[in-house]
C-alpha cells in the first residue's frame, strides 16, 4: 500500500500547482500581448506581409491584400502560386520547396505578381522559413517596384535606341571610309607609282622618295580600312556572328601576337536579331582590347555556346589579373569604361556578367544572355 501524503505535503503540492497555473496564465497573457503587437505592426506596415503554409496563405496584412486588389478575407486559404506570374511561378515554387527543406536559396529577389484584375506588378520580395503554429511556413514581405522597373525599362529602351543610332552612324562612316577615302588613297598610290612611267628619271633619290611615299600611302590605306572594319564589321551581315568573330580573333591574334583559342557550339542554326549580334560582337571586341591593354596575356580562350534559353560567352586569359573592386573604382576615376561598357551592353540584352580575377591569376569573364525559342531555328 502506498503511503498516504500528509496534510503538509498536500498543501505544498497545491501551492506548487497554483504557482504553475499562475505561470501559465502569465505566459498566455504574454503571448496574447505579443500577438496583438504583431498584428498592430503587420497591419500598419507599409510593406505587404504574408505567411503561407502547405501552399496556401494563412496570414496576409492589409497592405499585401491592397497591392493585389483583394481583401484579406479573399486571400486567406488561397494558393500562393495564384498571385505569381506564370513566367516566375516555377522558380518561385522551387525556391519555396528548398527553403522549407532548409536548403540555401536567395532571400531577396524581384518577382512579377498578378493582381485580381489580371494586371501585373513587379515586387521586391524578402522571404524566410519560420515556425508558425507548430509547423514550418514561409513568411515574407513585398514592396511594389513597378514604377522603378518601368523607369529602368524606359532607360534601357532609350539606351538601345541610342546604340542603334551609334551603330547606324558607325556603319555610315565605315562605308564612307572604305568606299571613298580608302579608294581615293588607292588611286593616289597608283598614280604616284606610275607618275614617271614612260619618262626617263635618272635621279635615284627621286625614285627612292617615290617608293617611301608609296609605302606611307599603303600604310594609310590599311589603317583606314582597319578603322572602317572596327567601326562596322561587314561580315556580320553576310557571314553571321560566329564566323565574323572567328575572323576578328585571327586578325587580332596576328596583329597583337596573342594566341586566341576560339570555340563555338550550338550556334549554327541560331538566328539572332542584329541588336543581339552586334552587342555580343562589341563585348568580345572590348574584352580582347582590355586583355591587350591591361593583362599582358600570352593566350586567351574564348567560347560562345548556345544552350537554350541562354547564349553563354566565356572569355579567359592567362594575364596578370587584377583586384576587381580596385579596378572598378580606378576605372571611374580614370574614365576607363571598358568593363562598364561591357556591363551596359550585357544589361541591354537582359543578361548577366560575372568577372573572376586575382592578381597573377588571370581573368575569367562569364556572360549569359537569354534568347527566345522562336529564334532557335533559322
For residue 99, give the CATH number of its domain: 3.30.450.20
Residue 15 lies in a domain: no
pLDDT one-digit tens code per residue, 301-347: 999 999 888 999 999 999 888 887 776 666 555 555 678 888 888 98
pLDDT one-digit tens code per residue, 220-236: 888 888 888 778 787 77
Instruction: Output the pLDDT for position 122.
Output: 94
- Among 23-32, 150-159, 271-280, the range scoring the smallest mean pLDDT is 23-32
pLDDT one-digit tens code per residue, 12-43: 665 565 555 555 555 455 555 555 555 555 55
| Domain end call among 232, 261, 290 | 232
Question: Which residue segment(s) compose the domain that 156 sits in?
Answer: 147-232
Residue 156 lies in a domain: yes
Task: Please give the backbone phi and psi of residue 121, each rounded to the nearest 5 degrees, phi first.
Answer: -125, 145
For residue 142, the tally of other CB atoms under 10 A from its CB is 23
Residue 67 lies in a domain: yes
Q: What is the mean pLDDT of residues 268-290?
A: 88
342 and 374 in a single domain? The answer is yes
As given in the structure block, the three cell numbers for residue 84 are 505569381
Residue 345 lies in a domain: yes
54 and 185 in a single domain? The answer is no
247 and 361 in a single domain? The answer is yes
The candidate with the shortest Cα–Cα distance to 210, out of 220, 197, 198, 223, is 197
What's 371's DSSP letter?
Answer: -
Mean of pLDDT over the chain: 82
Q: Confirm if 82 and 92 have CB atoms less than 8 A apart.
A: no
Q: What single string gives the DSSP state of each residue in 202-236?
A: --HHHHHHHHHHHHHHHHHHHHHHHHHHHHS-THH
316 and 376 in a single domain? The answer is yes
Q: Per DSSP, which regions of the chain are E strands?
A: 48-53, 56-60, 108-114, 120-132, 135-144, 259-265, 299-307, 310-317, 352-357, 363-370
Q: 267 vs 104, 164, 352, 360, 367, CA distance in Å?
A: 34, 24, 19, 33, 16
172 and 242 in a single domain? The answer is no
Q: Per DSSP, which regions of 18-161 are E strands?
A: 48-53, 56-60, 108-114, 120-132, 135-144
Q: Which region, left, alpha or beta, applies to residue 128 given φ > 0 means left and ψ of -120 to 50 means alpha? A: beta
Residue 268 has pLDDT above 90, yes or no: no
Max mean pLDDT range (10-24, 80-94, 161-175, 362-376) = 80-94
Residue 40 lies in a domain: no
172 and 311 in a single domain? The answer is no
152 and 138 in a single domain? The answer is no
The candidate with the shortest Cα–Cα distance to 312, out of 302, 299, 322, 321, is 302
- pTM exceeding 0.75: no
211 and 72 in a single domain? The answer is no
105 and 240 in a single domain? The answer is no
| Domain end call among 190, 214, 232 | 232
The candidate with the shortest Cα–Cα distance to 146, out of 154, 158, 157, 138, is 154
Q: Confirm if 215 and 223 have CB atoms less than 8 A apart.
A: no
Q: Confirm if 315 and 300 have CB atoms less than 8 A apart.
A: yes
Which pairing describes strands 135-144 and 299-307: parallel, antiparallel, or unpaired?
A: unpaired
What's 266's DSSP letter?
Answer: S
Q: Structural domain tally of the chain?
A: 3
281 and 362 in a single domain? The answer is yes
The candidate with the shortest Cα–Cα distance to 109, out of 87, 82, 137, 140, is 140
Residue 11 has pLDDT above 60, yes or no: no
251 and 368 in a single domain? The answer is yes
Residue corresponding to grid cell 598614280: 191
What percentage of residues in the chain have a pLDDT greater than 70?
Answer: 81
Q: Rounded to whole angstroms, how far apart are CA atoms 154 and 145?
A: 14
Amino acid at each position: 500500500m502506498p503511503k498516504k501524503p500528509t496534510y503538509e505535503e498536500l498543501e505544498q503540492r497545491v501551492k506548487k500547482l497554483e504557482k504553475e497555473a499562475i505561470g501559465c496564465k502569465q505566459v498566455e497573457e504574454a503571448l496574447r500581448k505579443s500577438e496583438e503587437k504583431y498584428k498592430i505592426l503587420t497591419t500598419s506596415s507599409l510593406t505587404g506581409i504574408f505567411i503561407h503554409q502547405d501552399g496556401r496563405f494563412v496570414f496576409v496584412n492589409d497592405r499585401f491584400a491592397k497591392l493585389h486588389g483583394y481583401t484579406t478575407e479573399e486571400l486567406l486559404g488561397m494558393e500562393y502560386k495564384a498571385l505569381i506570374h506564370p513566367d516566375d511561378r516555377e522558380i518561385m515554387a522551387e525556391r519555396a520547396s528548398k527553403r522549407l527543406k532548409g536548403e540555401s536559396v536567395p532571400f531577396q529577389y524581384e518577382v512579377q505578381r498578378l493582381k485580381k484584375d489580371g494586371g501585373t506588378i513587379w515586387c521586391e520580395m524578402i522571404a524566410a522559413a519560420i515556425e508558425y503554429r507548430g509547423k514550418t511556413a514561409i513568411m515574407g514581405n513585398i514592396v511594389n517596384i513597378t514604377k522603378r522597373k518601368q523607369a529602368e525599362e524606359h532607360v534601357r529602351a532609350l539606351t538601345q535606341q541610342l546604340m542603334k543610332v551609334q551603330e547606324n552612324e558607325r556603319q555610315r562612316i565605315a562605308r564612307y571610309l572604305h568606299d571613298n577615302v580608302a579608294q581615293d588613297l588607292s588611286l593616289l598610290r597608283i598614280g604616284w607609282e606610275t607618275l614617271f612611267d614612260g619618262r626617263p628619271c635618272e635621279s635615284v633619290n627621286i625614285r627612292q622618295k617615290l617608293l617611301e611615299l608609296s609605302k606611307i600611302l599603303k600604310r594609310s590605306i590599311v589603317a583606314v580600312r582597319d578603322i572602317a572594319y572596327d567601326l562596322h564589321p561587314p561580315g556580320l551581315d553576310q557571314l553571321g556572328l560566329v564566323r565574323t568573330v572567328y575572323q576578328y580573333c585571327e586578325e587580332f591574334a596576328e596583329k597583337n601576337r596573342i594566341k586566341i583559342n576560339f570555340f563555338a557550339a550550338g550556334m549554327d542554326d541560331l538566328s539572332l536579331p542584329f541588336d543581339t549580334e552586334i552587342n555580343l560582337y562589341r563585348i568580345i571586341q572590348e574584352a580582347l582590347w582590355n586583355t591587350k591593354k591591361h593583362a599582358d596575356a600570352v593566350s586567351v580562350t574564348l567560347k560562345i555556346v548556345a544552350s537554350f534559353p541562354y547564349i553563354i560567352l566565356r572569355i579567359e586569359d592567362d594575364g596578370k589579373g587584377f583586384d576587381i573592386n580596385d579596378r572598378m573604382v580606378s576605372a571611374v576615376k580614370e574614365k576607363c569604361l571598358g568593363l562598364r561598357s561591357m556591363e551596359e551592353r550585357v544589361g541591354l540584352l537582359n543578361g548577366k556578367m560575372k568577372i573572376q580575377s586575382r592578381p597573377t591569376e588571370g581573368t575569367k569573364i562569364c556572360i549569359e544572355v537569354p534568347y527566345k525559342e522562336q529564334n532557335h531555328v533559322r
